[in-house]
């Protein structure tokens, strides 16, 4: 069985803007190729503006490359139409962002239920049961009836992680998930990702500025000016991650 879950081949991303009467093109990723293994916990690092978030968005089909190809489980997602991509994002990927984007009028439990109900493939009862299970998995079972404004930043981000897992994604993508958290809550989120990877064999790709976090993963990919400067695997997928 092929253990490569995501593959990017010669991916280029160029943005074209009009500056007055002049057309200006900016290449964010000039030509990048890499792959990710099933069950691998990877960190993408680099200075601001290096292209790491753009790469994450391309991997997660939130954006499309200008040139090149991206595959998920050997299917070319870069050739899919928007309707196919929307379904793929909902079923195959879980997303965690720097800002949790929880819906303020709904409880923690209801926020986690939302992605399941959006698919229309389950009952409200089953969605509620599964949401409760996920909140327990991230240590928030006692907060399921709280609304976001009744929770700390770290608690809100844990609920965002539970929501990202609602549709059993094969890949969890996170963009600076601890960017707005203090050191204690950041450590809690790090430990949660490690637990998910270890216990669920969850494939996780995280963009982060935090070198301490990056060094705790299986693999660190450092990007400068849209190019891979370093790609270091320190541990094999499935191995224990030590802090």
Mean pLDDT calculated for residue range 79-100: 89
Tokens read off for 136: 């327990």
Which bin fits 210, alpha (ψ -120 to 50), beta or left (φ > 0)?
A: beta
Tokens read off for 184: 């204690």
User: Which of 100, 175, 103, 106 lies closest to 138 in space, CA to CA?
Assistant: 100
pLDDT for the residue numbered 19:
72
pLDDT for the residue numbered 129:
95
Burial class (CB in 10 A: 0-12, 13-18, 19+), 143: buried
**How sure is the predictor about 40, in pLDDT bands with cuts at 50, 70 and 90?**
very high
Q: So where are the chain's domains?
A: 39-66+80-233
E strand intervals along the chain: 4-19, 22-37, 41-45, 67-72, 75-76, 93-96, 171-175, 203-207, 219-224, 227-233
pLDDT digits (tens, 9 = 90+) for 125-184: 999 999 999 999 889 999 999 999 999 988 998 999 999 999 899 999 999 988 888 888
Mean pLDDT calculated for residue range 87-115: 91
Q: Please state the CATH superfamily assignment of the domain spanning residues 39-66+80-233 in this structure.
A: P-loop containing nucleotide triphosphate hydrolases (3.40.50.300)
């Amino acid at each position: 069985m092929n253990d490569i879950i995501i593959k990017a081949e010669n991916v280029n991303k160029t943005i074209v803007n009009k500056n007055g009467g002049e057309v200006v093109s900016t290449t964010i990723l000039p030509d990048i190729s890499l792959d990710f293994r099933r069950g691998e916990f990877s960190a993408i690092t680099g200075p601001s503006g290096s292209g790491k978030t753009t790469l994450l968005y391309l991997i997660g089909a939130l954006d499309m490359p200008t040139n090149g190809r991206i595959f998920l489980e050997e299917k070319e997602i870069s050739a899919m139409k928007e309707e196919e991509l929307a379904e793929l994002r909902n079923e195959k990927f879980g997303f965690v962002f720097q800002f949790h984007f929880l819906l303020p009028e709904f409880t923690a439990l209801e926020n986690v239920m939302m992605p399941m109900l959006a698919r229309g493939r389950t009952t409200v009862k089953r969605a509620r049961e599964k949401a409760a299970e996920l909140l327990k998995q991230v240590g928030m079972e006692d907060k399921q009836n709280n609304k976001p404004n009744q929770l700390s930043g770290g608690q809100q981000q844990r609920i965002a992680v539970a929501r990202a897992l609602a549709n059993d994604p094969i890949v969890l993508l996170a963009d600076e998930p601890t960017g707005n958290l203090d050191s204690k809550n950041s450590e809690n989120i790090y430990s949660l990702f490690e637990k998910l990877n270890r216990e669920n064999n969850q494939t996780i790709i995280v963009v982060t500025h935090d070198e301490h976090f990056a060094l705790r993963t299986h693999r660190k990919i450092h990007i400068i000016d849209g190019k891979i400067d370093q790609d270091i695997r320190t541990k094999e997928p499935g191995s224990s991650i030590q802090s």
